[in-house]
């Protein structure tokens, strides 16, 4: 039976890697995508919808499928709760300092952060950001706090960053992310 993965895509240049992750996981899993508003500046919802074969969720206040031209089901659920009930694992790629900070502080002000807060399944963050942002002591404290409460992280690696500099902050290789997802799904 296929496992159910929710892929959260945040706003960063590494958002395009979400397409490769979907491709690597979709044969043995069903994948739904939640995009932050900022992620739409880096990759389109149409791309992720086409690859996943499912609608992409962008707005917390639009009922499921309303923008897809379908009628509402008789028993409609709130989107973030419906997604949190559906999924068996949530992967956030690229996990930005913003989403990490929100979750660590208990802030749920968009669809992705509310799904994370409503989740009872493993949440796996794959951060990618500027090397100075990655080293920031506030971010590192937020990560430490989230790890203590049961969230998982796939560490970024050293590589060429969006600003042209080289350092730790580059998204982990897609293959490593897929391997970690499979591991966490097998443990769930």
Residue 53: CATH number of its domain: 3.40.50.1950
Give the tokens for residue 93.
């790629």
pLDDT, residue 100, reads: 98
Q: What is the pLDDT of residue 90?
A: 97
Domain range for 18 is 3-187
Task: Indicate if the pLDDT at residue 75 is higher than 60.
Answer: no
Domain count of the chain? 1
- Residue 71, pLDDT > 50, answer no
Q: How far apart are CA 31 and CA 36, in angstroms?
A: 16
Strand partners, 124: 91, 152
pLDDT of residue 65: 47
Q: What is the pLDDT of residue 63?
A: 54
Tell me whether strands 123-127 and 29-35 are parallel, antiparallel or unpaired: unpaired
User: Phi and psi for 119 in degrees, rounded to 5?
Assistant: -80, 145
3-class DSSP state of 115: helix
pTM of the model: 0.91
Cα torsion 81, 177, 56, 50: sign: negative
Sorted by sequence, the CB contacts under 8 Å of residue 63 that are 6+ apart come out as: 72, 76, 79
Count of alpha carbons within 13 angstroms of residue 161, beta-carbon side: 19
Percent of the chain scored above 70 by pLDDT?
A: 90
């Amino acid at each position: 039976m296929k496992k159910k993965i929710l892929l959260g895509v945040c706003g960063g240049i590494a958002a395009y890697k979400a397409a490769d992750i979907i491709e690597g996981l979709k044969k043995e899993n069903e994948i739904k995508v939640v995009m932050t508003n900022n992620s739409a500046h880096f990759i389109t919802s149409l791309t992720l919808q086409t690859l996943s074969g499912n609608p992409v969720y962008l707005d917390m206040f639009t009922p499921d499928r309303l923008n897809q031209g379908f009628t509402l089901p008789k028993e409609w659920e709130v989107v973030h709760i419906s997604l949190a009930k559906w999924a068996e694992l949530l992967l956030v790629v690229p996990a930005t300092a913003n989403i990490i900070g929100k979750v660590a502080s208990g802030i749920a002000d968009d669809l992705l952060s509310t799904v994370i807060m409503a989740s009872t399944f493993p949440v796996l963050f794959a951060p990618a950001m500027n090397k100075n942002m990655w080293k920031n002591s506030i971010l590192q404290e937020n990560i430490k706090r989230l790890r203590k409460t049961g969230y998982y992280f796939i560490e970024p690696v050293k590589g060429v960053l969006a600003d042209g500099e080289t350092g730790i902050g580059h998204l982990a290789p897609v293959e490593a992310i897929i391997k970690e997802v499979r591991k966490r799904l097998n443990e769930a």
